[in-house]
Structure 1
Amino acid sequence: MTLREILVVERQGHDNASVLAVTGWLANAFNAFVRGLCVYAAPDPTIAECFAIGDRPMRAVSDHLDRQRDESVVPVETGFRATLTEAGASGDWARIDSGAAVDTGPLRARLVDLVVLPRPAGDDHASLRLVESFLSDGGTPCLLVPEAIDLPVSFDRILLAWNGSREAKRALDAALPLLARAAAVQVVMVGEPTESEAQGHIDALAARLARHGITIDARHHPRGHTAQQILESCRTFDADLLVLGAYGQSRTTEAILGGVTRTVLLNAPVPVLMDR
């Protein structure tokens, strides 16, 4: 299992340096083809342009808005191309209107091995909805990258949050190429009813990963808030990547209850690899 094709989602008007740094590292490490997708907001006409009447004036307004749109995404494409050059990778680039991104963006995810996305801020509902659409409808693992990360990128210390669920298993499978390259892998379990049951899970997981040449260190926290324990484990282990199963419940339920996935997603100090 490896990564041969990556989709990186960039946002017009935002700082895309972190997602590009991670994408460049992945492209170089796995010799992957990279597809760039810029999500842009269509420019609004001025008040005067709203009153344009007749074919020629309306065509002039349309042409002006098209030029504004084209100019606004130039820096995004330039940054993407520079990342490919530095990584020695090949790829292509496209743009998509933010109004269509939630519906059509995930369709592009189904043809790649990994999607790299900027992590949304808690009050950025549009970006959060976009991320949720990729997680729920894309069918492909997603790597969520905070705006501020340590550079250069090096996923040497990986924390795996494990509860034995289907989602955790899918996230683990997605992470195998990265786990195999890591210098240290720690597994954290939170809230199993007994120590012996938790140890049984850990032993079985360790045996499976050992067959892939991966050695793990494990930590069990029988009590405590799951999200906070995972976040604290990221810090104490000095992780540079967190692997986590996403949305064990419905997205609506998790949004209402402030679920583990959302809390970790919005607060993790490192990139988070998720699948569901």
Structure 2
Amino acid sequence: MRALISDKSAHGDPVEGALTRIKAEPNARSRIVSDSHQWEAPMSYAEILVALGEDDAAYQRASYAGMLAGQLGASLLGVLSRWPHPPEVEPNATIGMVGELLAEARASCHVDLATVEAGFRATVEASVDQVFFAGGIGSMTEAVLREARRADLIVIGQSTSSGNDDGPCDAQVLLVRGGRPVLVVPPAYEARALPRHIAIAWRDCRASRRVVREALPLLRRAQQVSVVTLNEVLSATPASSAADVADFLQSHGVPARARGRSGAAPLRELLHILDEDDADLLVAPAYCSNQLVCSELVRQTTRMLSRCRIPCLLST
């Protein structure tokens, strides 16, 4: 054992060396932390998943996701799943006739999926090197949840849940079960470059800390990042915590600043700040682990998504 210890010391134990430097130099700790950041590989997204559809807003969303993937050096996965349209069945139809009608409906559904895939690839092929498509029959939300295991980021449209499996992706379900950050894009939103002015809606909770960390690939490429403290009755956030977050981001090379607190009406004031700063991306927590305030935060998230005119990156 002594031989092992002496051999380790001879080759220079990094932990022992760090402790020696801290004892010898009071300011050594900050330099050690700075040095450790240089050893980290640059964080980025390897694959982005986008929920597809058959309307114009879905193709614009795919184009936006393609721009993100292309400029971040990521591959792009388009996902579409839907149920066949139920056929009209005559009252006197036999079981065999019903089976034929169902088979025709499924075949028509596969043709629609192939049409969307062709349009999706034509939309993004000029922006992204690697494009994948996953299509199938079934629930759209379940399909996105299944494919999310291979993606770093989920991009969906700004729509409310329809309450059934035929509707668009349910953002609440994806946030709770997806295990990935969700980027919600408003209808008809277009952008040809990565977000330059990003606002962070800061609430001192686990969800805020996680979404800030998961947004680093975008935050690092921004020109300006503002940390806005949400002033909420149900979720008290110290004013000093925004400055701490700005310091954390600056240590990762992000040009961040603490913007100040929102007023008595957090959502209205936050939207005003977004317009004032000309922000093109909002990073915000979706829920928190405190069950007493979770239902209120769900309502706030829903209202924010329905009123925000720029993409929102959310996490739990």
Within-5 A mapping of 1:22-61: 22-48=64-90, 51-55=92-96, 57-61=97-101
Paired amino acid for 1:108:
E
Paired amino acid for 1:53:
T
Could you tell me whether the CA contact under 8 Å between 1:18 and 1:145 is conserved in 2? Answer: no
Task: Using the aligned pairs only, state the percent identity.
Answer: 26
1:137 matched residue in structure 2: 177
- The 1-side partners of 2:68 and 2:225 are apart by 18
Partner-residue secondary structure (3-state), 1:223: coil
Distance 1:45 1:253, change over 3 A: farther
1:151 matched residue in structure 2: 191
Tell me: higher relative CO, structure 1 or 2? Use CA pairs within 8 A at least 6 residues apart.
1
- The 2-side partners of 1:254 and 1:97 are apart by 33
Within-5 A mapping of 1:1-276: 1-13=43-55, 15-48=57-90, 51-55=92-96, 57-98=97-138, 100-121=139-160, 124-126=162-164, 127=167, 130-191=170-231, 197-198=238-239, 200-221=240-261, 223-248=263-288, 259-276=299-316
Distance 1:218 1:255, change over 3 A: same
Give TM-score, length-normalised by structure 2: 0.76
Distance 1:203 1:228, change over 3 A: same
- Shift in Å, 1:172: 0.4
Partner-residue secondary structure (3-state), 2:121: helix
Could you tell me whether the CA contact under 8 Å between 1:255 and 1:262 is conserved in 2? Answer: no
- Shift in Å, 1:144: 0.5
Distance 1:63 1:129, change over 3 A: closer
Give TM-score, length-normalised by structure 1: 0.86
- Shift in Å, 1:130: 1.8
Q: Which structure 2 residue ranges, 5 or more long, are not aligned?
A: 1-42
Partner-residue secondary structure (3-state), 1:86: coil
Question: Matched residue pairs, number?
Answer: 269
Query: RMSD in angstroms over aligned alpha carbons?
Result: 2.8
Q: Which structure 1 residue ranges, 5 or more long, are not aligned?
A: none
- The 2-side partners of 1:254 and 1:157 are apart by 29
- The 1-side partners of 2:56 and 2:295 are apart by 25
Distance 1:141 1:251, change over 3 A: farther
- The 2-side partners of 1:125 and 1:239 are apart by 32
- The 2-side partners of 1:275 and 1:231 are apart by 19
Could you tell me whether the CA contact under 8 Å between 2:156 and 2:169 is conserved in 1? Answer: no
Could you tell me whether the CA contact under 8 Å between 1:103 and 1:133 is conserved in 2? Answer: no
- Shift in Å, 1:47: 3.3
- Shift in Å, 1:18: 2.6
- Shift in Å, 1:182: 0.8
Distance 1:259 1:192, change over 3 A: closer
- The 1-side partners of 2:56 and 2:262 are apart by 40
Q: Which moved more, 1:253-262 or 1:112-121?
A: 253-262
- Shift in Å, 1:16: 0.7
- The 1-side partners of 2:169 and 2:65 are apart by 22
Distance 1:249 1:119, change over 3 A: farther
Larger radius of gyration: 2
* CA displacement, residues 226-259 of structure 1 (integer Å, 9 cap, x when unaligned): 2222222211111111000112268997667862
Partner-residue secondary structure (3-state), 1:11: coil
